[in-house]
Amino acid sequence: MKKILFGLMLFIFVFSACTSAPPPEKVIETVVVTELVEGEVVEVIKEVEVIKEVEVVKEVEAEPEISVFQKAQNGKPFRYAFTERNHPFMRMLTAGFLQACDDYGLLCEIHGVDGVDEAQVMAYAEGMNADDTSGAVFCMNNPSRFPSGKVIIDKGIPMVHHHTPREVGEIPGMLAWAGPSFVDYSQKAGKAVAEKVECQGAIALSQSGLSEGENRVIENFKIGYSEVCSDAKFLDVTVIGTLDMAKSIVLSGGTLQAHPDVTAAFSSTSIGAQAWALAAQESGIEKGKIAIVGMDGTRSNLDLVASGDVWMLVGQPVFEEAYYDVVLLVNHLMGYPVPFENLLPAPQITLENVDEFYAIVDKAESVEIE
């Protein structure tokens, strides 16, 4: 019992010492006093001891500064919903969104879904409300998402889309979109491949699925190639998916083995370059014999260009377009006019300039994605 009482008393003493005001200080001050000396009043300078209370200055914690853009949000964040959160392509998009949010000092929230769970993403998108969301980024890459986009817009939430080109009025009320021109970069890629192989052999093609955007990329690639080589031989498209790399390699390898006259292989999806390159390796095809062209400057794709396994990549501005989505929402929030169409360049990445694009990947990967 004594130990308990002693411990309690010690706690009280220590707590009091930590929380009570500091003890008064004794200081020596010089003062002038009046004294009677030999019948006369005179002033005498003396040093006296004075007790002074020590003034306690309380530290006031400063309120964190917020940007003028965040003030305009009025506590309501920008929101971004997406699928396949761990796919390299989607990670670059998400990194672009978050980097812009950080640069502008904004409130932002992301909702990423593992795998291709369209129902979950659309449910989250439709659950947004104008009283808790100041702007939405929602990719309208397929018409199946249009109804969810309409729900967001009808609630009065400014919404922007990226990547897949859209026409004015196609999605009534959509604020804007940012991304590359599928027609431009696909046709340029087709012409480059035609010149590379000098119109020889068969051209293998692959895409992740039969989506509207990828269909357009393949068709415009054919147009560009055919402008140079009128007697082009295109193989049927190999559908390789997006998540199962082993399966994608097997499917791509089957195409190469069935058609030994293939001189070039083009893919409209991000993992296509890897699938073609690794399939060629497993099939014993000499490096460089097939001009392999794929999409996106992800690190794994850049490594294949640097090693010579992939001839060229179409550098879709993935990080940049998601960043620009935020810029468009900020401009709208601040009352500036926002153009509906915002085209961004998609450069061709080859061994000569691949080092420049590693810097973009480094930037994307430095952004933390929860």
| Model confidence pLDDT, tens digit, residues 102-161 | 999 999 999 988 888 888 888 999 999 999 999 999 998 888 899 999 999 999 999 999
Task: Assess whether pLDDT exceeds 50 at residue 2.
Answer: no
Strand partners, 262: 202
Residue 138's pLDDT is 93
Task: Assess whether pLDDT exceeds 90 at residue 43.
Answer: no
Distance CA 160, CA 92 (A): 17
- Greater confidence (49 vs 303) lies with 303
Residue 13's pLDDT is 32
Task: Assess whether pLDDT exceeds 60 at residue 56.
Answer: no
Domains of the chain (ranges; CATH) run 72-180+318-365 (3.40.50.2300), 182-314 (3.40.50.2300)
Range with top average pLDDT, 58-72, 157-171, 215-229: 215-229
- Segment 232-246, tens digit of pLDDT: 999 999 988 877 888
Which string of DSSP letters, residue by residue, matches 302-331?
A: HHHHHHTS--EEE---HHHHHHHHHHHHHH
Task: Assess whether pLDDT exceeds 90 at residue 40.
Answer: no
Residue 68's pLDDT is 94
Residue 193's pLDDT is 98
Residue 7's pLDDT is 36
Q: Residue 151: phi, psi to the nearest 5?
A: -60, -45
Query: pTM for the full model?
Result: 0.74
